[in-house]
Amino acid sequence: MELLKELQKYRNSPRNAVISDNFSLTYRQLWEKSESLASVIKNGGVRPVIVYGHKSPYMLVAFLACAKAGVAYVPIDINMPENRIKNIMDSVEPQRVLTTEKLQQYKEYEFLDITEESVYAHEISIEEKDWIKAEDIFYIIFTSGSTGVPKGVQITYAALNYFTEWALSLGECEKRNVVYINQAPFSFDLSVMDLYMSLASESCLFTLSKETQMDYRKLFASLERSQAVIWVSTPSFAEMCLAEPAFTEELLPELRQFLFCGETLTNRTAVKLQERFPAAQIYNMYGPTESTVAVTAVLVDEQINKKYRPLPVGEVKPGTMIKITDESGKEVSEGESGEITILGNTVSRGYFNNPEENQRAFFEACINGEKERGYRTGDKGYIKAGMLFYEGRIDLQVKLHGYRIEMEDIE
Ligand code: AMP
């Protein structure tokens, strides 16, 4: 599967690619607008582009325009703290900043309001040969760094394609032309899951803005309207919804699959979801941003829920290997705890401009005669009967609503 090639097939499709509040774009509009915007970006050089905004459909236009112009994009959500935004801007030194929202500061960079129609009047000069190549960086997503400076995880186009293809093979995700719920902001790698699974399957991404998520009446009205089939969120967001008795299959009669990643899914939450949504499957997935969203998955059915406490995070995807290692980096035997190390075709090329952290976290290994990229996650876990179990961190990283925070970053 190759994302842009898939989208090219749907270039004339009148189906909605994205719905955000009261604004939507069809696949045809998405294709055409990203084509014009790519022509603008192409003239700006090879440095990454920052895309600043929230859940606007124009964010998708910008991401695809970058891919068509062959440059990486760096998503920044409007709710990111000010100093984090400044840190990212200064470290990326973008060729330009595409915005859907007002951003007054940072006069040193070139800004383009991509909600202006005039942007799309640009003559199209993009050809397939300009498109991003498999080994090029597709996006850079920043995560909390223990030195107080965020780390930009670089993910290649090939890695994104490998991930998306695998995720689309999980249970009900083989369905096309369905509706995906988008909860996470685009600056959080969980959103890569719903965004690109949805686009690659000619489905519709139904976004929930932060404002909607903060007001349960608005949230439930949106969910009811969504006709969602696939749900992607952190477990904590689903737990928040479960606090409302109205969160049942009556609200979401089309729902067939929950995909969870980013933090622990408890047995209790899984049981409650099974009771409220008997027609839906629940998948627990695991992975850090550095390995492209997720590398393991397990269908949490009644049997798994009864058998395991806590729940496993799943079996490893094709093209990836997981090794559990001790402090000296040696592999431990099955069932023993150690650090979770991920190797394979979706491991990041490294952090943007950060040789020190790269040296610490990434490595290369020769496995069965093939050179594989590896990443030391800092997560603790063990493998039993082919299933990975997560046991927390070996350092001071914590998760808040699914967001990764290094304690030293706050210090
Ligand atoms: P992020 O890079 O923001 O996606 O965070 C990745 C980290 O979230 C991992 O290194 C784990 O510590 C944690 N994590 C991801 N998936 C799960 C899961 N299914 N269960 C428990 N923790 C998880």
Q: What integer best gives the mean pLDDT of the chain?
A: 96
Mean pLDDT computed over 221-241: 98
- What confidence score (pLDDT) does residue 149 get? 85
Measured from the CA of 313, which atom of ligand 1 is nearest? 19
Return the HEC string of the chain: CCHHHHHHHCCCCCCEEEEECCEEEEHHHHHHHHHHHHHHHHCCCCCCEEEEECCCHHHHHHHHHHHHHCCCEEEEECCCCHHHHHHHHHHHCCCEEEECCCCCCCCCCCEEECCCHHHHHCCCCCCHHHCCCCCCEEEEEEECCCCCCCEEEEEEHHHHHHHHHHHCCCHHHHCCCCEEEECCCCCCCHHHHHHHHHHHCCCEEEECCHHHHHCHHHHHHHHHHHCCCEEEECHHHHHHHHCCCCCCCCCCCCCCEEEECCCCCCHHHHHHHHHHCCCCEEEEEECCHHHCCCCEEEECCHHHHHHCCCCCCEEECCCEEEEEECCCCCECCCCCCEEEEEEECCCCCEECCCHHHHHHHEEEEEECCEEEEEEEEEEEEEEECCEEEEEEECCCEEEECCEEEEHHHHC
- What confidence score (pLDDT) does residue 411 get? 73
Q: pLDDT: is 332 or 122 the higher one?
A: 332
CA-closest residue to ligand 1 atom 6: 288
Mean pLDDT computed over 17-44: 96
Over the stretch 202-211, which tens digit does the pLDDT of each residue have? 999 999 999 9
Measured from the CA of 296, which atom of ligand 1 is nearest? 19
- What confidence score (pLDDT) does residue 237 get? 98
Mean pLDDT computed over 260-272: 98
Confidence at 362, pLDDT banded by 50, 70, 90:
very high
Q: What share of the chain in percent tops pLDDT 90? A: 90
Name the residue of 141, 286, 311, 395 whose CB sits within 8 Å of the most ligand 1 atoms, as the mutation to test its pocket.
286
CA-closest residue to ligand 1 atom 12: 379
Mean pLDDT computed over 375-394: 97
Name the residue of 80, 239, 388, 404 whose CB sits within 8 Å of the most ligand 1 atoms, as the mutation to test its pocket.
404
* Burial group, residue 226, by CB count within 10 angstroms (0-12, 13-18, 19+): buried
Contacts of 203 (CB under 8 A, 6+ apart): 175, 176, 177, 178, 179, 180, 197, 229, 230
In the numeric block, which tokens belong to residue 178? 């369905």
Mean pLDDT computed over 300-310: 97
Over the stretch 21-31, which tens digit does the pLDDT of each residue have? 889 999 999 99
Q: pLDDT: is 144 or 294 the higher one?
A: 294
Confidence at 397, pLDDT banded by 50, 70, 90:
confident
CA-closest residue to ligand 1 atom 3: 404
- What confidence score (pLDDT) does residue 398 get? 87
pLDDT at 279 over 90: yes
285: closest CA among 275, 276, 277, 295?
A: 295
- What confidence score (pLDDT) does residue 145 get? 81
Q: Measured in angstroms, how far is the CA atom of residue 265 from the centroid of ligand 1?
A: 11
pLDDT at 104 over 80: no
pLDDT at 166 over 90: yes
- What confidence score (pLDDT) does residue 407 get? 82
CA-closest residue to ligand 1 atom 1: 288
Q: Measured in angstroms, how far is the CA atom of residue 286 from the centroid of ligand 1?
A: 6
Q: pLDDT: is 404 or 246 the higher one?
A: 246
- What confidence score (pLDDT) does residue 161 get? 98
274: closest CA among 237, 308, 299?
A: 299
